Amino acid sequence: MGFHDARRRLLDCLEEGCIGHWPRKDAYRKNWLQSGRMTVEHVRELLIRCNGTQYRQSVHDFDAETSVHEFFPDHGATHWYVKVFFDDHLGVAMFMSVHPSGEGNEDLEGR
């Protein structure tokens, strides 16, 4: 699955409410969607802005058969990081990370 298919599937999951969150202790800082610091609509807007050069696919650390999709959209001067994989058994997009990233965005993360 490439950029266009991954983004389309993720946008569909967000629209249908078929999302979950990878458990992590630092969710307030690293998963703004899970912690309520941003809305599903805001994540959708970020993904719509994203292009193929702002995407990479890798293998999940805990399951070599699971692809992880990483998106790096920009919104104004803020660079964002969205990391997700699709859990076909549950039928959801599992968000691992949604947060500002990159130089100059550290002040946003600490809020």
In tens, the pLDDT along 38-63 reads: 999 999 999 999 988 999 988 766 66
Helices (H), 1-111: 3-16, 27-30, 40-49, 106-109
Map residue 74 onto helix, strand or coil: strand
Q: What is the mean pLDDT of the chain?
A: 87
How is residue 24 written in tokens? 């992590």
Q: Could you give all domains of the chain from N- to C-terminal order, each with its CATH number?
A: 3-109 (3.30.2310.40)
Beta carbons of 94 and 68 less than 8 angstroms apart? no
pTM score of the predicted model:
0.86
| pLDDT given for residue 61 in this prediction | 65
